[in-house]
A = this chain, B = another copy of it.
Amino acid sequence: MLHTVNKSPFEKNSLDTCLAHAKEGSAILLIEDGVYGALNGSKMTAQIQQAMEKFTLYALGPDLKARGIADKVIDGVKVIDYAGFVDLACENDKVQAWL
């Protein structure tokens, strides 16, 4: 299953709840304000790095660039574009949006 998260983890609990309910090995894609979860050196970073032992973390490049944080992404987070998002939605059997 592909999980999408579009909320900033500094503001809302969506990423937390996603991490608590996604199955080990799942793909989690951060989009829109959700990409702030991929920010390196923040108070969330340790939690995200820990989650990356269990999940594959993706972040949408166009959203990172819009927000000026494309060069501040946690190592190991895979940056993809909209075409990559479509590919992920195909490769996984379903998509769960954590709003």
Interface residues of A (CB under 8 A from B): 10-13
How many chain copies? Answer: 2
CB neighbours of A11 from chain B (8 A)? 12-13
CB neighbours of A13 from chain B (8 A)? 10-12
Q: List the 5 shortest-distance A-B pairs measured between CB atoms, nearest first.
A: A12-B12, A11-B13, A11-B12, A10-B13, A12-B13
CB neighbours of A12 from chain B (8 A)? 11-13
Instruction: Tell me the minimal C-beta distance from A15 to chain B in angstroms.
Output: 12
CB neighbours of A10 from chain B (8 A)? 13
In the complex formed, the residue of B with least CB distance to A17 is B11
Instruction: Tell me the minimal C-beta distance from A10 to chain B in angstroms.
Output: 7
